[in-house]
Chain A
Amino acid sequence: APEPSAHDLSLGVDWLTRYGYLPPPHPGQLQLRSPLKLRDAVKVMQRFAGLPETGVLDAVTVAAMRRPRCSLPDVLGLAGLVRRRRR
């Protein structure tokens, strides 16, 4: 897959942060995110969207980010909330 454009990457990171897949940026730190963290976040997002878990921010994944949805974050773990998942 081609590399995502800077525009898609920026929108994607913003979207992944808003819905809890990436931690919010710390105001005192440079907003560097490792490609590995980003790939993991994209994989989880793809699972929620029912897409193949490639970890690549491709056109299909970006299009899924534009789908209508609920406003609540998908990943609540960062807020320290209890999560249980069926095996």
Chain B
Amino acid sequence: YALGGSAWKKRVLTWRVQSFPRGSALRPDVVRTLMHFALAAWGAETDLTFREVGTQDTPEPDILIGFSQNFHEDSYPFDGPGGTLAHAFFPGEHPISGDTHFDDEETWTFGVKDGEGTDLFAVAVHEFGHALGLGHSSAPDSIMRPFYQGPVGDPAKYRLSQDDREGLQQLYGKASQTPSAKPTRKPLTAPPQPPALPPDSPSTPFPDRCQGNFDAIANIRGETFFFKGPWFWRLQPSGQLVSPRPARLHRFWEGLPADVRTVQAAYSRPDGRILLFSGSRFWVFRDRLREGEPRQLTALGLPEGEQVDAVFSWPQNGKTYLVRGGRYWRYDEAAQRADPGYPRDLGLWEGAPLAPDDVTVSNAGDTYFVKGTQYWRFPKGTVQADPDSPQPLGPQWLDCPRPPQTTPQPGGCNCQCEINQ
């Protein structure tokens, strides 16, 4: 553990939630309850007592809790969704000492699986550690690690790690009673019970990534995104999934209209902009959706009403390829116009499947055609698929079990062959 350098001299600390999250599904009474339990987690290990006060009480409480956005009159402006989540001020005599701020632009949640939002209880326990005088710890199981690590379970049963307990007790000593016998909170009114945690199976059904058949796949700033319906998974450059549970499309791609339920193709342009395609329209994102979107595919040289199965930018020539069925068009980003003489036959890409789900280029520069549960790899700079293509997508990319090896059975078969296979 690490100490911040100051501690409270008193043992009864007051607190109040000054502002509540505006865009969150969490009701104010749930937020208050979660704060009670987050403080109680620390109070259980020492003789500290936390008392909630009302707005009419003076002086100002020791720990003033608020949800705010961007610049909010301290030295730590928030940065919107992701990035920094919250902060708190170490103990002291200054009015802001002990105050705890949460970024109102996060999707604050409680009781949902990791990946759905940011668990308010887990972050609150961490921040109250600062408000009581602890700095960041690198201990593996410490709540004071600086990076968000996901939900920590039932607030009523939560107990600090040994590292956190020892850090706190260094500042305030051990509790004179056992945690279970000690009253750790004294709310204004009887707080509601913590919301019940959902069962292990999430209430919202989401697709199985191991079944493949993605709508779109794209390499976006080094990470591979797999889109399926209103969901997507992210694969880090290290090859690790950000979460086995997919994230919601519209929570991440802000501004994408709610009626867009699938992304049919996606790619990252050489200038860093990200294009999502659905139907005959496409949207351009950078840090956020560009104004004036969507645009029509005709702007990229496709005929009126045409759609795309796959879009990718080929590093060898910097051109953008737009694939539909067994044909493709080519767009010159530098000249901002479609190349003449297209569409052409996709057969140029020897071994590629017709109507791929999408095509993407890896960080190593190889091109991958993906269809169903398989991928076809085209080594960097070539238009010939690896001889051992196709390969199963899930085990290689998505942490899925390898399909069982099947032994060919003698006798007739009912199979179809495509000219490229």
- B222 partner residues in chain A, CB cutoff 8 A: 59, 63
Given contacts A68-B83, A76-B5, contact A60 B237 (CB under 8 A): yes
Bound complex: CA A81 to CA B82 (Å): 29
A49-B147 contact, Cβ under 8 Å, with A68-B85, A85-B1: yes
Q: Could you mark each residue 235-264 of chain B with 1 if its beta carbon is under 8 Å from any beta carbon of chain A, else 0?
A: 011100000000000000000000000000
Question: What is the number of residues of chain A that contact chain B, defined by CB distance less than 8 Å?
Answer: 25
Q: Is the interface of A mostly helix, strand, loop or mixed?
A: loop
B76 touches A71 (CB 8 A): yes
Determine the residue in chain B with the shortest Cβ distance to A75.
B136
Are A70 and B126 neighbours in the complex by a CB distance under 8 Å? yes
Q: Say if the beta carbon of B146 comes within 8 Å of chain A.
A: yes
Number of A-B residue pairs having CB atoms within 8 Å of each other in the complex: 94
Chain A nearest CB, measured from B91 CB (Å):
12
For B170, what are the chain A residues with a Cβ–Cβ distance below 8 Å? 84
B366 interface contact, C-beta 8 A:
no
Nearest to B87 among chain A residues (CB) is A71
| B326-349 interface bits toward A, Cβ cutoff 8 Å, 1 = contact, 0 = none | 000000000000000000000000
Q: Are B127 and A70 in contact (CB under 8 A)?
A: yes
What residue of chain A has the Cβ atom nearest to residue B363's Cβ?
A: A59
Cross-chain pairs A/B with CB under 8 angstroms, 16 sampled: A48-B146, A48-B147, A50-B147, A59-B222, A59-B238, A60-B236, A63-B222, A66-B82, A67-B148, A68-B82, A70-B85, A70-B87, A71-B84, A82-B3, A83-B135, A84-B2
A72: contacting residue among B136, B145, B223, CB under 8 A: B136
Within the complex, what minimum Cβ distance (angstroms) separates B172 from chain A? 14
Instruction: Assess A69 versus B84: contact at CB under 8 Å? Given A63-B238, A74-B136, A86-B163.
Output: yes
Q: How many residues of B contact A (CB 8 A)?
A: 38
Which of B3, B127, B140, B237 makes the CB contact (< 8 A) with A59?
A: B237
A50 lies within 8 A of B145 (CB):
yes
Residues of A within 8 A of B (CB): 19, 47-50, 59-60, 63-64, 66-74, 76, 81-86
Residue of A19, A50, A70, A83 near B2 (CB, 8 A) is A83
A68-B148, A74-B136, A85-B2 known; 14 other A-B pairs, CB under 8 Å?
A50-B147, A68-B84, A69-B83, A69-B85, A69-B147, A70-B84, A70-B87, A72-B76, A72-B130, A72-B135, A81-B4, A83-B5, A84-B1, A86-B163
Given contacts A48-B138, A59-B222, contact A72 B238 (CB under 8 A): no
